[in-house]
Structure 1
């Protein structure tokens, strides 16, 4: 497929921190995608959850299924806009690598514990993983991804200028990702695909968990018209199929709005290169204002009825205690970290250096492993 002039061309990539020979069969962005898929951190996403803790049900989304859904949506949008699909997919697949166990609850707990040591941010942690913590290759630590993929992981949500997370500042000092600018159009697509995927699947997971009903969400914008269309087309459809048909229309409506809005924005801006997109000072991939306002209503509903539901809050309190117990315990007894972490422990200089090692270890845990370790250490 011919790329648009504002797409990232792999032949013009800014390259890798450690130079490598060009592959005969794969573009640089394809190799990035493949390295991410084969990484240990990506496999661990199978047992890291979005909202519900892993043991609560086999059908709820995990970070892995979410990342695959985001990549699928992102490829569709990127292909329609003439963008590089491999780069878009690589950023989409990597965007959640830095998440802790127990979703945002685990991140909040670890950020509070790391406050004296620079805090914790999952985007910065993703950069830490792909540039250092994955240690499998002979010639370098990390995955040695291209500049464009690293840029997308670091700033797919926009420029990073205020209170730069330590992990990100540390790497940026070695390899400037131009954090003050917007990311490529491909990375912007990955960010919007994330919004589309989690809004849609959180509605599905909340329904499956019994936190609200089809009738209640039928009052929401975008969602209500989708249910009404299904009822007009199939008036006697059973509840399970009705729900699926309605929510796939919600998904489609969001994707269509992003594509149409982005096409208008690109026609107006007329960027001639990928760098022009970065230098515009505003995103070109976005929802229309009316749809963004409607998505805000859906998110408000989910916040009240799902993310702050009593059963979810009870579980949040329980798993917060798990992180709050593990972190100080490993700080006091770093010898309990696995053998392959002990070289890093031996090189640690001071409490902050050790805290970052402990945070790396805990952030890499799956839900299951964190619970197992907590039981082993505390009963």
Structure 2
């Protein structure tokens, strides 16, 4: 390592690197690296485009200005690339993993995911958006004549699986090819915290925009935001509150980014990491926040849960989301023939419940509501088809 960067520990794109391998042969590209090609394949995927119609916190029906799952993803990609650049890591891999990290989310945000998981648990299964993302890029996307899936590099597929949690080979033997006994590269490790930084900033912003959160109340409860607000207030006297709040949000985001960069660097230096193998073989993740930043992150997260995510207005939306997902799941479990033929064809190999979940997970908010209205018309209250 030189000048405090971690370039000796980054994922390289030289020949012989197993992380560059694809399931199917693919010719090289003169002007694009392997991870840049993966980035382009992801951005061009239909599942990626559907993120524009999926809830982050507020549904897009409420305001054109609230984040969708797509705009959130773009913000995470900006942060991830900045952190990777500052550390001398592989920026293309970090950006690509950020762009794909939420591609497996169902409609209606986390409420939709909880409902879908509850439905599957009745059939002895679970819904995990990371593993569903892997199914999307390996199986569902069909853009190429020679094979199903996007044929992404092993490095990107491993990052999809492991960027936010660790799996074990006993519980998930199907993931054994993803080096479950090793830590992921730093490019993958930093994605989860880039995600945290993005939504901790954005959810305060959207919460105030919605009228559900009040700036002075946030200042009284969220210490990192209060500290940043005081800094910008001293620098910009007489400026309207909403502009000071925006400046404070940007400073808060930059503070967390700087902390992530500094602490990741310190962690790698503390173990004497001089190669990617050193990162891989270390049993704990090195891309973390400092104790102070972690404490402030948890404080803000608790505040958001207590004041925004669980507020009556959003609770009503969540309850409706769970109703829609659950009733549609049950309908298609009882009426297999009402699924599109392509999904019916998958039942023998994937199982009925998993196929229904796959169909629902791929929907946008607007499309699933259309399906819900259509099913309600088909099935009158108190009757069964």
Q: Which range, TM-score by smaller chain? A: over 0.9
Native 8 Å contact 2:207 2:213 kept in 1:
yes
Give the alignment of 1:23-172 within 5 angstroms.
23-115=29-121, 116-161=123-168, 164=171, 169-170=173-174, 172=175
Tell me the distance in 2 between the aligned counterparts of 1:73 and 1:270: 26
What is the RMSD of the two structures over their aligned residues, measured on CA atoms?
A: 1.6
Question: In the TM superposition, what is the alpha-carbon distance from 1:163 to its structure 2 partner?
Answer: 7.5
Structure 1 residues without counterparts, runs of 5 or longer: none
Between Structure 1 and Structure 2, how many residues are aligned? 368
Native 8 Å contact 1:159 1:181 kept in 2:
no
The TM-score normalised by the length of structure 2 is 0.92
Tell me the distance in 2 between the aligned counterparts of 1:215 and 1:254: 21
Give the alignment of 1:1-379 within 5 angstroms.
4-11=7-14, 12-14=16-18, 15-115=21-121, 116-161=123-168, 164=171, 169-170=173-174, 172=175, 176-219=177-220, 220-345=222-347, 348=348, 353-379=351-377
The TM-score normalised by the length of structure 1 is 0.93
Tell me the distance in 1 between the aligned counterparts of 2:63 and 2:130: 27
Tell me the distance in 2 between the aligned counterparts of 1:207 and 1:144: 42
Tell me the distance in 1 between the aligned counterparts of 2:30 and 2:171: 38
Question: In the TM superposition, what is the alpha-carbon distance from 1:3 to its structure 2 partner?
Answer: 7.5
Native 8 Å contact 2:164 2:191 kept in 1:
no
Deviation sequence 1:329-356 (CA, Å, 0-9, x none): 11122222224334324xx26xx70111
Question: In the TM superposition, what is the alpha-carbon distance from 1:246 to its structure 2 partner?
Answer: 0.9
Tell me the distance in 2 between the aligned counterparts of 1:152 and 1:118: 23
- Structure 1 runs, 4 residues or longer, greater than 6 Å off: none
Tell me the distance in 2 between the aligned counterparts of 1:99 and 1:83: 27
CA separation of 1:136 and 1:117: change in aligned 2, threshold 3 A: farther
Tell me the distance in 1 between the aligned counterparts of 2:47 and 2:163: 19
Native 8 Å contact 2:138 2:151 kept in 1:
yes
- 3-state SS in 2 of match to 1:138: coil
Deviation sequence 1:202-229 (CA, Å, 0-9, x none): 1111111111211011121110011111
